[in-house]
Structure 1
């Protein structure tokens, strides 16, 4: 198989790594860990619970900030985190490919 063939024979993690890149996958992992942490802290009802949701929200800014205009509920919160993380991961992936390419736009 060459690089121009479809990579449907490769497992999903390999395809994801090839299309997104290591840096973007690490970022997505950090966002997932922050979201789980915020949910755990909020469920325990401690004094930090009121601000715990802000951390994953800010980690996925600026795309997640567009959701501030919508009514506040859990669906909007999770959608904002998911969309913000996806947009930022795409930008990170694009930047790492551009930096890896260097001055050679044909690669």
Structure 2
């Protein structure tokens, strides 16, 4: 393993390695898959199921909604918002676990 790949894997594990961040990502993925399945199965075209993954990834997804519409853009918005929110959750978990001690990663 090169030094760069070790750094990236350590940084990813540090960012998304907390249980709460992983549970959040799994929940967002399950909601998104559910919304796609429900929307595809609806013949009337009136399904509003995609609202649930957008609300689960709020507030980040609401900022990104200014982008043009379409399923591809909604997918990008939900994935990016879930990753940003999971990174924030991981950071908060790391800070709370650390307590008053300084961060050894910085």
**For this structure pair, what is the TM-score category when the shorter chain's length is used for normalisation?**
0.7 to 0.9
Correspondence list, 1:13-92, <5 A = 18-19=13-14, 20=16, 21-45=18-42, 50-92=47-89
Asked if the contact 1:60/1:84 (under 8 Å) is kept, the reply is yes
* Unaligned residue ranges in structure 1 (runs of 5+): 1-5
TM-score, normalised by the number of residues in structure 2: 0.79
TM-score, normalised by the number of residues in structure 1: 0.78
Higher relative contact order (CA 8 A, sep 6+): 2
Asked if the contact 1:17/1:25 (under 8 Å) is kept, the reply is no
User: How many residues matched?
Assistant: 97
Q: Quick one: distance in 1 between partners of 2:59 and 2:103? A: 31
Q: Quick one: distance in 2 between partners of 1:86 and 1:106? A: 22
Query: In structure 2, what is the equivalent of residue 3 of structure 1?
Result: none
